[in-house]
Amino acid sequence: MKAPRVSSTIVIAALLISILASCGQAPATTTPDAGASQPAAAANTGTKTYKDMTLCYPQLGAESDWRTANTASIKETAASLGIKQLVFSDAQQKQENQISAIRACIQQGVDVIALPPVVEDGWDAVLTEAKNANIPVIVVDRSVSADPSLYASYIGSDMALEGERAAAEFNKLLPNGGAILELSGTTGSGAAVGRAEGLRNKLNANIKILDSQTGNFTRAEAVPVMQAFLKKYKPGTDFQGVFIHNDDMGIGAIEALKAAGVKPGDLKIVSVDGTRGGFQAMVDGWFQADVECNPLLGPQVFEMALKLMNGQPVDRKVLTNETVYYPDQAKELLPTRTY
């Protein structure tokens, strides 16, 4: 019997879709579907394509270069895959705006909601509404504390591991112990909670966390926080290092440190993200390490959304494989950074 012939157009189209899906994508490790119940928008027919997809992305804000890159990744992937509609909004770091945007998407009858939650708590009601409307939700970037049966999957970074990696850097940078300050991200956000926990879990006992204040992941808010720290504590005497939860706050902190006469290298500074700004701070001698947090999640989000539309099983957790960057590679890598 002759094997059925597959048209070359179909083969080329399939290849193109798989290349697009892996292009510029954050490398990932997955946790298989443990059989948890997931809302599925379609019967298990596998016939829907990207052209049928309306995806809702209630972005949490535009607070950092990381966020700008995440937004670009979502918008560019939606355009390159040719989805029917991307319903994008900017909640300006306010949970109530994100909840309203989700409710509008439910009303519109979108196929999938991909939610980067500004904070962990307070999602149960709206996630239940999405589930009752049979709209699957992918939690993206930051975690939620809601029951896992209310969403299909999480795609993003292991924030606790990022904090642990920062701790490992301080353990190397301050082998005889000392004190550090913490400039933390948005209070109650999965990113800030995870990084703070990871740091505390792995920091050597002889390194004390002298103080911790939030700069809400923004440059502007980090400046007065660092200024207040410098009024209270003497750099080099009271503290030897600073853990900063993202590069934007790091850049704000450097501004305050410079104004106070602190020089690059006087303090051990470890930041998170690995943006161009963070790389520049390493080149300039301010950061001793930058823990990577990859924002390029678009391809994974849309690939999973299509599976959900077709009622196919998805991994419960897709964690991005990340690394730590150091000043000795920063100059060479800086021109290659895409965000």
Query: Which strands form 241-244's sheet, in the order they lie side by side?
Result: 207-214, 178-184, 241-244, 268-273, 289-292, 324-325
* Minimum CB–partner distance for residue 329 and ligand AHR (Å): 20
Q: For residue 184, which of 204, 209, 147, 203 has the smallest C-alpha distance?
A: 209
- Residue 272 within binding range of ligand AHR, rule CB under 6 A: yes
Residue closer to ligand AHR by CB (options 25, 64) is 64
- Residue 322 within binding range of ligand AHR, rule CB under 6 A: no
Token digits of residue 176: 């005889």
Q: How many other C-beta atoms are found inside a 10 Å radius of the C-beta of residue 139?
A: 25
Token digits of residue 149: 């049966």
Site for ligand AHR in 231-270 (CB under 6 A): 246, 248
Choose which of 59, 64, 71, 184 interacts with ligand AHR (CB under 6 A): 64
Token digits of residue 264: 């690059």
Of 63-71, 145-153, 171-179, 231-239, the segment contacting ligand AHR by CB under 6 A is: 63-71
- Residue 320 within binding range of ligand AHR, rule CB under 6 A: no
- Residue 229 within binding range of ligand AHR, rule CB under 6 A: no
* Minimum CB–partner distance for residue 276 and ligand AHR (Å): 13
Residue closer to ligand AHR by CB (options 183, 272) is 272
- Residue 276 within binding range of ligand AHR, rule CB under 6 A: no
* Minimum CB–partner distance for residue 275 and ligand AHR (Å): 7
Distances (CA, A) of 294 to 193, 283, 320: 18, 20, 7
- Residue 63 within binding range of ligand AHR, rule CB under 6 A: yes
Choose which of 53, 57, 67, 196 interacts with ligand AHR (CB under 6 A): 67
Of 61-69, 79-87, 128-136, 171-179, the segment contacting ligand AHR by CB under 6 A is: 61-69
- Residue 191 within binding range of ligand AHR, rule CB under 6 A: yes
Size of the site for ligand AHR (CB under 6 A): 13
* Minimum CB–partner distance for residue 293 and ligand AHR (Å): 5
Q: Which residues contact 149 (CB under 8 A, 6 or more apart)?
A: 36, 37, 131
* Minimum CB–partner distance for residue 217 and ligand AHR (Å): 4
* Minimum CB–partner distance for residue 218 and ligand AHR (Å): 8
Of 12-20, 59-67, 132-140, 144-152, the segment contacting ligand AHR by CB under 6 A is: 59-67
- Residue 66 within binding range of ligand AHR, rule CB under 6 A: yes
* Minimum CB–partner distance for residue 298 and ligand AHR (Å): 15
Token digits of residue 233: 């504590």
- Residue 154 within binding range of ligand AHR, rule CB under 6 A: no
- Residue 221 within binding range of ligand AHR, rule CB under 6 A: no
- Residue 165 within binding range of ligand AHR, rule CB under 6 A: no
CA angle in degrees (0–180, nearest 5) for 312-313-319: 130
Binding stretches for ligand AHR (CB under 6 A): 63-64, 66-67, 141-142, 191, 217, 246, 248, 272-273, 293
